[in-house]
Structure 1
Amino acid sequence: MSDTFLFAEDTDEKIEEQKGEWKVLIVDDEPEVHAVTKLALNDFVFQEKSLSFISAYSGKEAKELFHQHDDIAIVLLDVVMETDEAGLEVAEYVRNELHNNFTRIILRTGQPGQAPERDVIVNYDINDYKSKTELTAQKLFTVVIASLRSYRDIMVIEENRQGLEKIVSASANLFTIRSLESFIEGIIQQLSSLLGGTKDAAYITSAVAGPKPIDLVTQDEFYVFSGKGEYQGCEGALLEDVVSGDELLACKKALKNKTLVYGDEYVAAYCQGKHTSGSLLYLSGVPRCLNQHDKKLLEIFSDNVQIAFDNVLLTKDIEDTQREIIERLGDAMEKQFSIGKHIQRMVEMCKLLAKDYGINEAQIEMLKLAVPLHDVGKLKVPSEILNKPGPLNDEEKEIARKHATIGYDLLKDSRRQIIQSAAMVARDHHEHWDGNGYPRGLKGEDIHIFSRITAVADVYDALRSKLHYKDAWPIEQVLELFKQARGKQFDPRLVDILLNNIEKIEDIQKRYPDPI
């Protein structure tokens, strides 16, 4: 260690404020090695970040520190410590057990013969191999710089990948407001990675009043829709409540002038919308001064991100319109057939059954929209049959059963997935698990799960309700019927779910009572 230290000379350059630290783990059983390494790299700075040193004096201690710190950039790892291969065991542990492929591993050994370089490089996923005798201050500086550059680039790629993953995942499922939040979260994560990482970021818009519901608000009110870092968990908060001082003035300037405003450590980017009044991307903790390439990239990003957001809003608006039409139609049918809150109870029961069955959230949302139309075919069944006070004769039963096919025919030609699902449920919710149902005599899993769930909820609610031709059955009698019909009329797994959740099912009955 005889070389002159690179950073020991005085300079006239202005000392810039540090913006974070790079964590370096020193693993060596010789305290002198720790002291000399820290001295050699004492005033090291890379991308305006200094080094933060963590010391471990054994392989075991190093493994424990990797559990405590998931952001170690470099590990300077001795090979021979408590055992001849302790360092190699740490390297293998980091890569194969912790699955940490980010940290740059630099092996340092005072006994190269015990761990030949060629064998180590081939058999272990390390990034450099140095003999302690050759690792002078200058060479230590060089290897640390090279390793930090690699670590920085790998982390940017990883953050970029995570952002893309969120965007792809959200774009595949736009049924719920949650996926809209995920979409925006992915967008700001992408932007952060493009700029080399930021500490905090927020997407602020006047198009929403918090995460739900999506409603237009006054044009002067801007709310946090999604955020990371300091702004994570601020969804629904006013701009003025989360940003203050010069940063708030910059945000207001960006909104007023419809432009981008750059500060020393923050950016406020206006995003022009076609269908909304526009939004704002606010980034703080920018890790470095932005060059012209960064600024151009940011401008392109802000121009296009609002288009994506507008499209998601339009999609959500279309779905909300579909939902409202279906709900209003369901309400009209309840009044037409004098069935009280039957549909509301069915929707809640179907949701419960579907969730326990393991159906994903998007499909549950689809089922909830399809269920209100399950008896739409009854609109074309004569009212004297539907409202007959006594039992139906065989001819009347045959006419009433046609409502399943009629409902399907009314809805089948739609290209909308929701309406197609409703058509299927309308047709098949009277099919039986054993094949003795109607109209097609389907059996078992040939009956779509939506129809099987609807069948259970429909029959349970009908039996537990007072109708014009019968009184409500006591719960004991209803449960006995379902036990007997398990594997015959109904999917046995759904019957088990019903029985295991009977208290929740009955709570739904109480929450949505029929009007007296």
Structure 2
Amino acid sequence: MSDTFLFAEDTDEPECEQKGTWKVLIVDDEPEVHSVTRLALSDFSFQGKGLSFISAHSGEEAKKLFHQHNDIAIVLLDVVMETDEAGLEVAQYVRDDLCNYFTRIILRTGQPGQAPERDVIVNYDINDYKSKTELTAQKLFTVVIASLRSYRDITVIEENRKGLEKIISASADLFTIRSLENFIEGIIQQLSSLLGGTQDAAYITSAVAAPRPFDTSEPDEFYVFTGKGEYQGREGALLQDVVKGDELKACQKALAEKSMIYGEEYVVAYCQSKNAYGSILYLSGMPRKLNSLDKKLLKIFSQNVQIAFDNVLLTKEIEDTQREIIERLGQAMEKSFSVGKHIERMIETCEILAKAYGLSEAEVEMLTLAVPLHDVGKLKVPTNIIRKPGPLSEQEREVAKTHAEVGYELLKGSRRLIIQNAAMIARDHHEHWDGNGYPRGLKGGRIHIFSRITAIADVYDALRSKLFHKEAWPLEKVLEVFKQQRGKQFDPKLVDLLLENINKIEAVQQKFPDPIDIRLL
């Protein structure tokens, strides 16, 4: 090598305590280029992080390394290797095939005339172009510093974009628990990025504030609601099971003093709540010490995210109360007709079929809230018909059929969406796929999916149970009925889903057995 490499120090860049290294991929078919590059940048440091080098000696080898490493900050790329344009092909592969727009690509060539700079810069998405003869140690140092600044800023912007994307998608349906999880997860990701890219983060709340039912109601027990990094997938875990040592003491101190605690590599922010216990935001793996602006941002975040959390919990409490009232009303009606657990089995069977059908979480929730009232119209059917031990006469059967229209009339006047859906299900769950059902003779897709699912669940549960007028049927006989009625009484797709999920549905039968043998459809 004829070019001279000098060593330089970066005196202008303020040092910040950071962890890890910046990955630099050297792609060149000359072994001495790898050695000299490593030597020239051996004492390099940017924001407290050194460089880790990866070597490739051909374009094809470089492509494979990009599959193995998704966090390469810079590639120092020779143009001419196994072919005259091997380096250019790598650059195009990284941008077009891998859609990697983050890695900074610096072309180094010993034959500038073979790949003219103007043409290369215009036609390829590269970030710099250097001739090997001009790339001294000082210039190499300068171009690496500039490229790392760009890479750092681009990755921070991408983290911000991902966080905002989650927040925006969650805001469309904020008042469901899953959306709340996405919302908080997105904000944690956004905040972590703004603070320099924390590795791990968790939003931890008390059992009394948590949206999921926990086995304990002790107010001093706190659980992970959602997490990032090390705490991803740890939802529902106790604080003391996921955080240890000084960090656990810091979390406990933040809760006790309702304050923010800053450690060398972590921060704990208390989130003031409307309830007496509040929550904490725990961030660890900090890449640098927080400045005053970071701390101000963290304080604002911890205050506002808890307001959103509390508001959604309040909405959920109202929804849960509404659900419980409807379920208890349905159970009370069942006790008028029987003493079984028909409603409990109906709810879970409908949920299984609805999810298998591909309904959204909101639709599944709506169906399971409304289905307990599917037989509300039976309140107006004479008891002697309801409880008749033998087959009904034709006249009695016509009277019993009126429960569908009666149920609709009882519920249709409500402005509440749940009750409106319950009214529709009460009326239409005896309609048949082929149009031979009642009361309106609807056919195929004109029957709402909620009513089609309810019909399957209702008949299945009736056949599998002992009623006043019949013994419980064995599973094989019940499944044969559904196979025969596929495309006739029942939606064929739902019959297929019933058969595919029969183990889950039978588990529901075992989960909610009747206390005695007599029940009514």
For normalisation by structure 1, the TM-score amounts to 0.90
CA–CA separation in structure 2 for the residues paired with 1:368 and 1:462: 18
Matched, 1:157 2:152: no
* Stretch deviating more after TM superposition (387-396 or 362-371): 387-396
CA–CA separation in structure 2 for the residues paired with 1:488 and 1:233: 44
CA–CA separation in structure 2 for the residues paired with 1:306 and 1:504: 38
Identify the match of residue 7 of structure 2 among 5, 8, 22.
5
Indicate the residue corresponding to 1:459 in structure 2. 459
Q: How does 1:177-326 map to 2 (within 5 A)?
A: 177-207=177-207, 212-213=212-213, 217-275=217-275, 277-326=277-326
Q: CA deviation at 1:415?
A: 4.0
CA–CA separation in structure 2 for the residues paired with 1:38 and 1:65: 18
Q: Answer whether contact 2:175 2:312 (CA < 8 A) is retained.
A: no
SS at match of 1:6: coil
CA–CA separation in structure 2 for the residues paired with 1:276 and 1:198: 29
CA–CA separation in structure 2 for the residues paired with 1:62 and 1:50: 22
Matched, 1:405 2:418: no
Q: How does 1:354-393 map to 2 (within 5 A)?
A: 354-393=354-393
CA–CA separation in structure 2 for the residues paired with 1:241 and 1:321: 32
CA–CA separation in structure 2 for the residues paired with 1:277 and 1:293: 27
CA–CA separation in structure 2 for the residues paired with 1:15 and 1:176: 44
* Stretch deviating more after TM superposition (109-118 or 51-60): 109-118
Indicate the residue corresponding to 1:81 in structure 2. 81
Q: CA deviation at 1:193?
A: 1.0
Q: How does 1:118-157 map to 2 (within 5 A)?
A: 118-157=118-157
CA–CA separation in structure 1 for the residues paired with 2:399 and 2:390: 16
CA–CA separation in structure 2 for the residues paired with 1:404 and 1:14: 76
Moved over 6 A (4+): 13-16
SS at match of 1:497: helix
Q: How does 1:346-495 map to 2 (within 5 A)?
A: 346-495=346-495
CA–CA separation in structure 1 for the residues paired with 2:259 and 2:503: 57
CA–CA separation in structure 1 for the residues paired with 2:482 and 2:234: 47
Q: Residue by residue, what CA displacement relative to the aligned partner does 1:345-367 show, whole Å, maximum 9, x if unpaired?
A: 32333233223323344433332
CA–CA separation in structure 1 for the residues paired with 2:317 and 2:21: 45
Could you say if the C-alpha distance between residues 275 and 220 of structure 1 is closer, same or farther in structure 2, counting changes exceeding 3 Å?
A: closer
SS at match of 1:225: strand
CA–CA separation in structure 2 for the residues paired with 1:188 and 1:171: 15
Read off the aligned partner of 2:357 and give its amino acid letter.
Y
SS at match of 1:166: helix
Q: Answer whether contact 2:15 2:48 (CA < 8 A) is retained.
A: no
Q: How does 1:16-165 map to 2 (within 5 A)?
A: 18-165=18-165
Could you say if the C-alpha distance between residues 346 and 14 of structure 1 is closer, same or farther in structure 2, counting changes exceeding 3 Å?
A: closer
Could you say if the C-alpha distance between residues 336 and 116 of structure 1 is closer, same or farther in structure 2, counting changes exceeding 3 Å?
A: same
Q: Answer whether contact 1:276 1:310 (CA < 8 A) is retained.
A: no
Read off the aligned partner of 1:364 and give its amino acid letter.
V
SS at match of 1:46: coil
Q: Answer whether contact 2:18 2:288 (CA < 8 A) is retained.
A: no
CA–CA separation in structure 1 for the residues paired with 2:75 and 2:211: 42
Read off the aligned partner of 2:190 and give its amino acid letter.
Q
SS at match of 1:100: coil
Q: Residue by residue, what CA displacement relative to the aligned partner does 1:427-457 show, whole Å, maximum 9, x if unpaired?
A: 2111111222222222211111111111112
SS at match of 2:9: helix
* Stretch deviating more after TM superposition (212-221 or 225-234): 212-221
SS at match of 1:205: strand
Q: Residue by residue, what CA displacement relative to the aligned partner does 1:136-173 show, whole Å, maximum 9, x if unpaired?
A: 22222222122112211221122222223333444445
Read off the aligned partner of 1:158 and give its amino acid letter.
E
Could you say if the C-alpha distance between residues 391 and 121 of structure 1 is closer, same or farther in structure 2, counting changes exceeding 3 Å?
A: same
Could you say if the C-alpha distance between residues 286 and 481 of structure 1 is closer, same or farther in structure 2, counting changes exceeding 3 Å?
A: closer
CA–CA separation in structure 1 for the residues paired with 2:144 and 2:71: 16
Could you say if the C-alpha distance between residues 421 and 214 of structure 1 is closer, same or farther in structure 2, counting changes exceeding 3 Å?
A: farther
SS at match of 1:76: strand
Could you say if the C-alpha distance between residues 421 and 359 of structure 1 is closer, same or farther in structure 2, counting changes exceeding 3 Å?
A: same
Q: Answer whether contact 2:199 2:286 (CA < 8 A) is retained.
A: yes
Q: Answer whether contact 1:209 1:223 (CA < 8 A) is retained.
A: no
CA–CA separation in structure 2 for the residues paired with 1:42 and 1:416: 69
Q: Answer whether contact 1:270 1:281 (CA < 8 A) is retained.
A: yes
Matched, 1:336 2:336: yes
Q: Answer whether contact 2:17 2:287 (CA < 8 A) is retained.
A: no
Q: CA deviation at 1:210?
A: 7.5
SS at match of 1:435: coil
Indicate the residue corresponding to 2:513 in structure 1. 513
CA–CA separation in structure 1 for the residues paired with 2:175 and 2:441: 32
SS at match of 1:7: coil
* Structure 1: gaps (5+ residues): none
Q: CA deviation at 1:233?
A: 4.3
Q: Answer whether contact 1:108 1:129 (CA < 8 A) is retained.
A: yes
CA–CA separation in structure 1 for the residues paired with 2:14 and 2:223: 39
Read off the aligned partner of 1:5 and give its amino acid letter.
F
Read off the aligned partner of 1:182 and give its amino acid letter.
N
Percent identical residues: 77
Q: Answer whether contact 2:200 2:229 (CA < 8 A) is retained.
A: yes
Read off the aligned partner of 2:472 and give its amino acid letter.
A
CA–CA separation in structure 2 for the residues paired with 1:485 and 1:357: 19
CA–CA separation in structure 1 for the residues paired with 2:336 and 2:384: 13
SS at match of 1:105: strand
Q: CA deviation at 1:53?
A: 1.0
* Stretch deviating more after TM superposition (432-441 or 241-250): 241-250
Q: Residue by residue, what CA displacement relative to the aligned partner does 1:185-225 show, whole Å, maximum 9, x if unpaired?
A: 22211210111211221212224587831688444333332
Q: Answer whether contact 2:92 2:125 (CA < 8 A) is retained.
A: yes
CA–CA separation in structure 1 for the residues paired with 2:229 and 2:475: 52
Q: CA deviation at 1:506?
A: 4.2
CA–CA separation in structure 1 for the residues paired with 2:415 and 2:28: 67
For normalisation by structure 2, the TM-score amounts to 0.90
Q: Answer whether contact 2:411 2:420 (CA < 8 A) is retained.
A: yes
Q: Answer whether contact 1:175 1:365 (CA < 8 A) is retained.
A: no
Read off the aligned partner of 1:342 and give its amino acid letter.
H
SS at match of 1:25: strand
SS at match of 2:67: helix
Q: Residue by residue, what CA displacement relative to the aligned partner does 1:14-61 show, whole Å, maximum 9, x if unpaired?
A: 987552211111111111211222222222222221111111111111
SS at match of 1:80: coil
